[in-house]
Amino acid sequence: MRRLLDAILMVGSELHVQAVLQRIVEASTELVGARYGALGVLDEQRVRLVGFHTAGLTDDERAAIGAEPKGLGVLGHLIADPRPLRLSNLNGHSGSSGFPPNHPPMTTFLGVPVVVRGLAYGNLYLTDKLGALEFTEADEDLMVMMASAAGIAIENARLHEQVADLATSADRERIARELHDSVIQRLFATGLGLQSAVRLSNDPDITARLQSAVDDLDATVREIRSVIFELHTQRLLGDSLRREVLAVCSESARILGFDPVVRFDGPIDSAVDTVVGEHLLAVTREALSNVARHASASLAVVSLSVADGEVTLTVRDDGIGPLSRQDGGQGLNNMGSRALDVGGRFEFGTAAGGGSELRWSANAVLS
């Protein structure tokens, strides 16, 4: 249940559809201990796959396999009959059509549909259960809950991208109404499902974290709705990066148990490119989430500076330090990838005087 909550929160932290899809695959694969994972996205007619995100395969392995699947074989069976499917031997299924050349062998299989706004959006596929002969019923239950949260995260990300392109107040009101009348209600329903899972454990910490996750999701949608009405520029979260960073830090205070210290230096609002700013906000949110989950800290200092065409974010805490923490690692990998995407650098290690220090930098203005 702890892993499920962490996975849901990680998936919900992204605001771009493609990034959300990749996070769903990575989180799902780790959640049930699969060697490989994939999320296939359906076309508008919902008869074939038009997008395919994977975990467990290197870029070279994907290139060697060739064209992405279109939805034949067992994948096609899930499209035609969108219900959870567990197989002890993928190749023995009546719908199996085999693998293309250079495809790694796969045996055990778990597939679940992902639904957005009541319509099939795609399917999650997990193969080769690690350390076990097959995926269990508990794995299936976890993935059904994960797929429900994934549908909400995808819809939120799609609405965020629509908001970025809004031009009229009527459009802003329409999106706000959709967020209020649709997304919040589904978040509430998902929260009820998560709360029912409390029966699986007598751990009061699990109960508290379940309720906290529901509250966080609900608060996020309320904030999105208020932001829509305040939107006056193309920047998604307002026209001031300083204000946006402060908002992220304020949001994080509840899960941290204290208010982070925030420091600015340089022309933050005028010098930082919008795209870089969006990456920076996501990294700030991820970094503070990691402090809350892993560091056992009582202090966190967020410093943002701009100098010589470079923006630098530093997040330091007084916790147990990186060598003692049991981090999942994917969040750190994602932050490193974001730095590379904008010509920057990423470092994470021990802070002077103890605790951990994360340093993320990028070219302030993309060429």
What is the SS3 assignment for 241? helix
Mean pLDDT computed over 360-364: 90
Nearest alpha carbon to residue 142 among 271, 27, 273, 292:
27
Six-digit token string for 287: 């970094």
> Of residues 229 and 274, which shows the higher confidence score?
274
CA distance 332 to 296: 18
- Average model confidence (pLDDT) for the chain? 80
Q: Which fold has domain 241-363?
A: Heat Shock Protein 90 (3.30.565)
Q: What is the pLDDT of residue 227?
A: 47
CA distance 357 to 250: 20
CA distance 123 to 338: 26
Q: What is the pLDDT of residue 229?
A: 42
> Of residues 332 and 280, which shows the higher confidence score?
280
Please state, for a pLDDT cut of 90, what percent of the chain lies above it.
Answer: 24
Six-digit token string for 67: 């064209």
Q: What is the pLDDT of residue 93?
A: 84
Q: What is the pLDDT of residue 112?
A: 94
Q: What is the pLDDT of residue 231?
A: 41
pLDDT tens digits, one per residue of 60-98: 888 888 888 888 888 888 888 889 999 999 888 887 877
Q: Which fold has domain 2-217?
A: Beta-Lactamase (3.30.450)
Domain boundaries, the chain: 2-217, 241-363
Mean pLDDT computed over 6-35: 80
State the DSSP string of 235-252.
STT-S-HHHHHHHHHHHH
> Of residues 52 and 180, which shows the higher confidence score?
52
Burial class (CB in 10 A: 0-12, 13-18, 19+), 170: exposed
Q: Is the pLDDT of residue 217 over 80?
A: no
Mean pLDDT computed over 269-277: 85
Confidence of residue 179 (pLDDT cuts 50, 70, 90): low
